[in-house]
């Protein structure tokens, strides 16, 4: 079924319920700071807009954990907006406005404020040129001077090898009389058959064969929106920079600061080549060739203000960080970068982690406590710990009291939903202004643990699981034996109390 309003975009299957942490105002500001650029201060009463919000999980969670910010979000799929509004109601989010509007309608609306932050994740490469122009018009009209834009997009040259695969999948699915899920299944089977028949496209593009294997294992809702729209336009970084300059945007940094630490991403020979290119967007484009980049998340500003070194250092010195995993879970630290697996220097990371384990500290506090480390080493360690999901920028614990009622209500709404759906895998923290991942079963155990009068949370959740015929899956196999399920549940409850509880407490989620 083709909806006239959908303009070639998939609308008969609703999108997945993702939360994207890079969109958090605290993390956006951190990424700008890491690139030595000023950006809207997330502690201030900002205005924030997410274009194409899908199910609205990200915007709702951020609204709950940043009640001083006014959030707006649009999507032209009314099912998405209905679901997003329902969650906002259940969670009592009074600072969020979900708009059933297309990008073209957003560009023409006169009832919206000017925004400090505009974000669009998973949009720009998947829509028509006219819709991209509408987005540029919207940003030109609605972004404040000094405002920040986050944008993600499929990137060339990395995506080039997948364009024929996408075409194949779409061509295999032209019979619009069948439901899209059936067409997707048939289309994937046809592509697999072609691969098994040793089609040279797959032989000479092993990346495409790998991707097909990945696609087959992905959720149908994700596949539909990723590959089955009428449009698919990967971008060279430089072309995107040119296109967005029409809205007076200047590129400032990748949204993941780790990607900007050249020594972690490039060999000596590659660094020498990059050093020969002065123009920033060309240099960034060259990096995409070196890495065969397939996907980028970039930050742009309308009127960039680079921070002078002392200003930047002063901001770093005042930025608080908190550990978001148990310190005991962090042994020898390894990270995967384009250079392979790197082991992080224990004499730098161990003391930073041990100090943060005692409670939130600023980079300045850490430097005062660890004079053997250079300030730059501490800042780089923090970038890496944040990138790995081990730490996060935060506010002072005493400031979180005013936010706590909002996140508590959101978390109660999420945990209530966990009884019938595993869609929302995150709880909100008033301290970090973002989400912490937690699976459905752990959410149910936590909810039962917090409920007064539940004698044994494991027994209570097991009863619920039995009533809905729910079972755990291990190594791709459903556990059929009751005792195996109970053991798994007990194991998860123990882990919740022993490992997760101190972190949940520190993040003021409980
Ligand atoms: C791939 S999804 C991404 C959703 C969300 N940003 C996320 O990452 O979960 C793209 C979203 O854009 C919406 N969309 C596509 N074209 C649109 C248009 N012309 N106007 C408004 N929304 C649109 C779709 O309905 C869908 O929810």
Q: Residue 478: its pLDDT value, please? A: 85
User: Which protein residue has the closest C-alpha to ligand 1 atom 4?
Assistant: 54
The four Cα atoms 445, 447, 453, 455 give a dihedral, to 10 degrees, of 0
pLDDT for 7 beyond 90: no
Tens digit of each residue's pLDDT (9 = 90 or more) over 398-431: 889 999 999 999 999 999 999 999 999 999 999 9
For residue 168, is it within any domain?
yes
Extract long-range pairs of 207-214: CB within 8 Å, 24+ residues apart.
207/161, 207/162, 208/161, 208/162, 208/164, 208/165, 211/162, 211/165, 212/165, 212/188
Give residue 374 CA to ligand 1 midpoint distance, Å: 44
Name residues contacting ligand 1 (CB within 6 A).
7, 9, 15, 18, 20, 52-54, 74-77, 80, 102-103, 121-123, 126-127, 131, 225
Give residue 52 CA to ligand 1 midpoint distance, Å: 4
Q: Are residues 91 and 123 in the same domain?
A: yes
Instruction: Say which residue, 115 or 485, is predicted with more confidence.
Output: 115
- Work out which ligand 1 atom sits closest to the CA atom of 225: 1
pLDDT for 475 beyond 90: no
Q: Closest Cα to residue 216, out of 201, 197, 195, 232?
A: 195
**C-alpha–C-alpha distance, residues 488 and 474, integer Å:** 10
User: Which protein residue has the closest C-alpha to ligand 1 atom 11?
Assistant: 52
Tens digit of each residue's pLDDT (9 = 90 or more) over 242-252: 999 999 999 99
pLDDT for 177 beyond 80: no
DSSP three-state, residue 47:
strand
Q: Are residues 162 and 152 in the same domain?
A: no
Give residue 434 CA to ligand 1 midpoint distance, Å: 21
Q: Residue 1: its pLDDT value, please? A: 54
Among 80-94, 219-233, 262-276, 277-291, the least confident range: 219-233
Q: Which of 203, 227, 251 is the last residue of a domain?
A: 227
Q: Are residues 112 and 244 in the same domain?
A: yes
Tokens in use for 334?
């390894």
The pLDDT mean for the chain works out to 94
Pairing mode, strands 334-337 and 340-343:
antiparallel
For residue 314, is it within any domain?
no
**C-alpha–C-alpha distance, residues 473 and 464, integer Å:** 17
**C-alpha–C-alpha distance, residues 72 and 94, integer Å:** 11
Tens digit of each residue's pLDDT (9 = 90 or more) over 331-355: 888 999 999 999 999 999 999 999 9
Contact 449, 507 (CB under 8 A): no
* Mean pLDDT within 309-320: 94
* Mean pLDDT within 108-133: 97
Q: Are residues 286 and 340 in the same domain?
A: no
For residue 287, is it within any domain?
yes
Give residue 1 CA to ligand 1 midpoint distance, Å: 18
Q: Are residues 456 and 337 in the same domain?
A: yes
**C-alpha–C-alpha distance, residues 347 and 137, integer Å:** 50
For residue 206, is it within any domain?
yes
Q: Closest Cα to residue 406, out of 151, 90, 75, 25?
A: 90
- Work out which ligand 1 atom sits closest to the CA atom of 134: 19
Give residue 169 CA to ligand 1 midpoint distance, Å: 20
Q: How does residue 175 score in pLDDT terms, banded at 50, 70 and 90?
A: confident
Q: Are residues 28 and 67 in the same domain?
A: yes
Give residue 368 CA to ligand 1 midpoint distance, Å: 46
Q: Are residues 393 and 325 in the same domain?
A: yes
Residue to mutate (ligand 1; options 49, 123, 231; most atoms within 8 A of CB): 123
Q: How does residue 229 score in pLDDT terms, banded at 50, 70 and 90?
A: confident
Residue to mutate (ligand 1; options 6, 11, 75; most atoms within 8 A of CB): 75
* Mean pLDDT within 366-385: 96
Residue to mutate (ligand 1; options 15, 57, 151; most atoms within 8 A of CB): 15
Domain count, the chain: 3
* Residue 281 CB coordination number (10 Å): 18
Tokens in use for 153?
């997009």
For residue 333, is it within any domain?
yes
Q: Residue 469: its pLDDT value, please? A: 85
For residue 396, is it within any domain?
yes
**C-alpha–C-alpha distance, residues 335 and 380, integer Å:** 13
Cα three-residue angle 101-414-78, rounded to 5 degrees:
20
Whether the upstream peptide bond of residue 157 has omega within 30° of 0, thus cis, is yes
Q: Are residues 63 and 141 in the same domain?
A: yes
Q: How does residue 321 score in pLDDT terms, banded at 50, 70 and 90?
A: very high
Q: Are residues 344 and 266 in the same domain?
A: no
Q: Residue 477: its pLDDT value, please? A: 85
Q: Residue 2: its pLDDT value, please? A: 62
For residue 1, is it within any domain?
no
- Work out which ligand 1 atom sits closest to the CA atom of 52: 12
Give residue 340 CA to ligand 1 midpoint distance, Å: 34
Helix (H) or strand (E) holding 150: strand 143-154
For residue 11, is it within any domain?
no
Q: Are residues 273 and 147 in the same domain?
A: yes
Residue 453 burial by Cβ neighbours in a 10 Å radius (0-12, 13-18, 19+): exposed
User: Which protein residue has the closest C-alpha to ligand 1 atom 12?
Assistant: 52
The CATH number linked to 69 is 3.40.50.150
* Residue 368 CB coordination number (10 Å): 11
Q: Are residues 214 and 251 in the same domain?
A: no
- Work out which ligand 1 atom sits closest to the CA atom of 123: 10
Give residue 487 CA to ligand 1 midpoint distance, Å: 41
Q: Which of 227, 249, 283 is the last residue of a domain?
A: 227
Tokens in use for 129?
């040129």
Give residue 127 CA to ligand 1 midpoint distance, Å: 9
Q: Which of 254, 270, 301 is the last residue of a domain?
A: 301
Q: Residue 474: its pLDDT value, please? A: 84
Residue whose tokens read 């010195």: 317
- Work out which ligand 1 atom sits closest to the CA atom of 17: 9
pLDDT for 286 beyond 80: yes
Collect all residues with Cβ–Cβ distance below 8 Å to 159 and sequence separation of at least 6: 234, 294, 295
Percentage of the chain modeled with pLDDT above 70? 99
Q: Are residues 85 and 150 in the same domain?
A: yes
Structural domain containing residue 140:
18-156+234-301
């Amino acid at each position: 079924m083709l909806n006239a309003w959908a303009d070639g975009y998939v609308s008969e299957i609703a999108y997945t319920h993702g939360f994207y942490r890079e969109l958090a105002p605290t993390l956006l500001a951190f990424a700008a700071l890491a690139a030595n650029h000023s950006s809207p201060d997330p502690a201030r009463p900002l205005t924030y807009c997410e274009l194409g919000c899908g199910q609205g999980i990200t915007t709702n969670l951020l609204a709950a954990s940043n009640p001083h910010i006014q959030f707006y979000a649009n999507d032209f799929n009314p099912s998405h907006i209905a679901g997003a509004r329902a969650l906002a109601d259940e969670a009592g989010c009074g600072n969020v406005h979900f708009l059933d509007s297309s990008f073209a309608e957003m560009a023409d609306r006169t009832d919206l404020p000017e925004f400090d932050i505009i974000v669009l994740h998973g949009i720009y490469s998947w829509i028509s040129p006219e819709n991209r122009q509408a987005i540029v018009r919207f940003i030109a009209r609605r972004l404040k001077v000094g405002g920040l834009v986050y944008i993600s997009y499929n990137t060339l040259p990395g995506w080039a090898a997948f364009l024929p695969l996408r075409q194949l999948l779409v061509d295999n699915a032209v019979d619009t009389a069948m439901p899209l899920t059936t067409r997707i299944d048939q289309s994937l089977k046809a592509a697999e058959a072609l691969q098994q028949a040793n089609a040279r496209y797959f032989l000479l593009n092993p990346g495409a064969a790998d991707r097909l294997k990945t696609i087959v294992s992905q959720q149908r809702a994700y596949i539909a929106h990723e590959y089955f729209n009428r449009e698919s336009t990967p971008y060279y970084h430089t072309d995107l920079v040119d296109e967005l300059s029409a809205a007076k945007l200047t590129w400032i940094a990748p949204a993941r600061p780790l990607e900007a630490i050249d020594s972690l991403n490039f060999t000596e020979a590659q660094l020498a080549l990059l050093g020969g290119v002065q123009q920033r967007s060309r240099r960034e484009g060259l990096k995409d060739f070196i890495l065969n980049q397939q996907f980028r998340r970039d930050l742009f500003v309308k009127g960039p203000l680079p921070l002078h070194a002392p200003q930047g250092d002063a901001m770093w010195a005042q930025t608080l960080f908190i550990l978001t995993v148990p310190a005991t879970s962090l042994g020898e630290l390894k990270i995967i970068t384009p250079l392979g697996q790197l082991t992080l220097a224990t004499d730098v990371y161990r003391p930073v982690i041990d100090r943060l384990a005692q409670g939130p500290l600023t980079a300045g506090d850490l430097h005062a406590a660890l004079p053997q480390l250079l300030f730059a080493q501490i800042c780089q360690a923090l970038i890496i710990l944040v990138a790995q999901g081990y730490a996060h920028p935060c506010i002072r614990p005493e400031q979180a009291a005013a936010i706590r009622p909002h996140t508590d209500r959101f978390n109660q709404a999420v945990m209530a939903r966990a009884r019938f759906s595993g869609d929302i895998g995150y709880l909100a923290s008033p301290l970090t202004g973002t989400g912490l991942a937690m699976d459905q079963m752990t959410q149910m155990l936590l909810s039962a643990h917090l409920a007064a009068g539940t004698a044994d949370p494991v027994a209570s959740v097991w009863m619920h699981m039995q009533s809905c015929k729910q079972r755990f899956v291990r190594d791709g196999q459903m556990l059929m034996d009751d005792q195996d399920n109970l053991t798994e549940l007990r194991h998860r409850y123990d882990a919740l109390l022993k490992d997760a509880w101190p972190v949940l407490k520190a993040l003021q989620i409980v």
